[in-house]
Structure 1
Amino acid sequence: MKILIAVDGSELSLDAVHHALSLVRAGLRASFVLAHVQEPASLYELVTTRDPDLIAAAARQAGMDLTAPARVLLDAAAVEYTTDIRMGAAANTLVDILEETACDLALVGARGLGGLRGALLGSVSQALVHESPVPVTIVKHAQEALG
């Protein structure tokens, strides 16, 4: 089984990593794709930089920095994983990664916006649920799950 774990650098996204590791401790044999999506470069960045390779390198470095805590957890657990960092619209790009890497499942942490605020701001996890060709598990934060 291959499982995509979407992380954005937030503490809440690490909940998906912790959930994946709890599945491994329970006996699941799987490899993982640690996925991070950077927003596309702004018009200002494009105009002032004028070097798409430089923009891509900066996005890749930012992605590596933001996935570092998740990679530390996965390394400590000695599980097999790859890291996939891309630029684009988060949900659509995650679907692309799911399809290209032949993942069987996606795990994503809940942002906890909910209600009107979540509807107004949009939700990557909700969009992923609707667009994904595979099941998506939204992992609630421990405090949210208890409340």
Structure 2
Amino acid sequence: MLKILIAVDGSELSLDGVHHALALVRQGLKASIVLANVQEPATLYELVTTRDPDLIAAASLEAGDHLMASARALLDAAGVAYETDVGVGDVAHTLVDMIERSGSDMIVIGAKGQGAISSALLGSVSQEVAHASPVPVTIVKHADPRDASDGDMAEDVPD
């Protein structure tokens, strides 16, 4: 059975990845799902003021679980079994570590759909994951509602 890791950060973009994986499962793909969230490492200020690494780790896990709530709800509603994983570190590299640790066969990740110039200037987690991943990467581009409404208008135009 195929194991799909889905990067989830609580955004609509990441939910697009969940919807995509659910569509594949509904079409008959036999797959298990791993929802993955990556938290940023604690800042020096947090480390100095808290002085309790266990408390910081617990806060990261709680934040990750919270950000996966919508994705979990979608999978629960669809009756699809899943596991979750929360990591801490650089997003792209941590996702690659999570792929290897979970034994995933592919990763699904949302993308902003930026143009080439914006991506080159700003960097892109999805592009970095695609470059570093040891497994196939599916990048799900967010549907622009304006594109859908333009298509609807074109269909309403009489012949």
Report the CA distance shift for 1:114/1:41 in structure 2 as closer, same or farther (over 3 A).
farther
Aligned residues: 146
Deviates more, 1:119-128 or 1:48-57: 119-128
State the partner residue of 2:18. 17
Partners in 2 of 1:3 and 1:51 — Cα distance? 34
Partners in 1 of 2:51 and 2:122 — Cα distance? 30
Instruction: State whether structure 2 residue 69 is matched by structure 1 residue 78.
Output: no
How far residue 112 of structure 1 moved from its aligned partner, in angstroms, is: 3.0
State the partner residue of 2:156. none
Identical amino acids, percent of aligned pairs: 66
How far residue 50 of structure 1 moved from its aligned partner, in angstroms, is: 0.9
How far residue 117 of structure 1 moved from its aligned partner, in angstroms, is: 3.1
- What SS class does the counterpart of residue 142 from structure 1 fall into? coil
Q: Deviations over 1:98-142 (max 9, x none)?
A: 111111110000123333333233211000000000000000112
* Greater radius of gyration (CA): 2
State the partner residue of 2:133. 132
State the partner residue of 2:119. 118
TM-score scaled by length of structure 1: 0.94
Gaps of 5+ in 1: none
Equivalence map 1:37-116=2 (5 Å): 37-116=38-117
Q: Deviations over 1:15-52 (max 9, x none)?
A: 00000000011111100110000011111111111111
Cα RMSD (Å) of the superposition?
1.4
